[in-house]
Amino acid sequence: MRQSLDLLFLGSGNAFAHGRYWNSFLVNGRYLFDASPIALPHLKRAGAALEEIEAIFISHFHGDHFLGMPFLLLEYAENTARTKELTIVGPPGVEERVRLVMEACFPYSMSKDSGYKQTFLEVEDGQTGEVGGATFTAREVDHVEDFGCFGYRLETDRRSVAYSGDSLMCDALYDLADGSDVFVVECSCWEGACGPHLGPADLQDLRRRLGPQPAFVLTHLDSGKQDLQIPNCQLADDLARFHF
């Protein structure tokens, strides 16, 4: 029997959305994708077992995707005891960036022995690896030139979930999503262009290219909800759960 995929969205909005918090989601209680500024309080609100999180996948270093890291690591240093290794996966420079924000916010906590091993893993385009009993693939996507931006595909218990990160249309999105069970994909722009992001027309094109599968879950959204006329597609919401 195939295992289910459980997706908990801690936030579902883009950096400017009214009525939504910033995008971040947890897969099967163990794999956190992006650490938005509200990741920790919403993990607690949802009753997630913080000590069971084994990997954090950072797509890129914009604040709405990354600035929850200091609070998560402080939580492990001071409040929630853990023994499992925590692997932080991200673009080149991820360890330096994490240490920089920790030094700015809570300078003592990175040097404290918190009882668990912390590992940083920098990725490059096409890299594969194993973490927390799952395998992953990282693909560089087309977002900004300031630093590397990545999408990921995670394979666990014979199920797979792909994540676009923030991106314009590019072949890497198709490669990540093709053959997966679920594609968590950003859709920042309801109407017209809004910078280096995807909109409904892009998602309709992806659906045509990919066919009826995988299931789409749209995140990094504007405020409100719209019927985008995309088959097998749902909109995420803050603290929403999806089972596949």
Q: Which residue has the tokens 């209680």?
A: 29
Q: What are phi and psi of 36, to 5 degrees?
A: -70, 170
Given this model, what pLDDT does residue 165 score? Answer: 98
Closest CA to 170 of 143, 146, 190, 193: 143
Q: Cα separation of 206 and 172, whole Å? A: 11
Given this model, what pLDDT does residue 1 score? Answer: 59
Task: Let me know if residue 236 belongs to a domain.
Answer: yes
Given this model, what pLDDT does residue 193 score? Answer: 72
Given this model, what pLDDT does residue 190 score? Answer: 83
Which residues constitute the domain of residue 27? 6-243
Q: Which residue has the tokens 């693909």?
A: 139
Task: Let me know if residue 113 belongs to a domain.
Answer: yes
**pLDDT per position as a tens digit, 20-65:** 999 999 999 999 999 999 999 999 999 999 999 999 999 999 999 9
pLDDT-flagged residues of the chain (< 70): 1
Q: Cα separation of 55 and 47, whole Å? A: 18
Task: Let me know if residue 75 belongs to a domain.
Answer: yes
Task: Let me know if residue 116 belongs to a domain.
Answer: yes
Q: What are phi and psi of 138, to 5 degrees?
A: -110, 135
Which CATH number belongs to the domain containing residue 11 in this structure? 3.60.15.10
Task: Let me know if residue 1 belongs to a domain.
Answer: no
Closest CA to 163 of 151, 174, 172: 151
Q: What are phi and psi of 166, to 5 degrees?
A: -95, 135
Report how many domains make up the chain. 1
Task: Let me know if residue 138 belongs to a domain.
Answer: yes
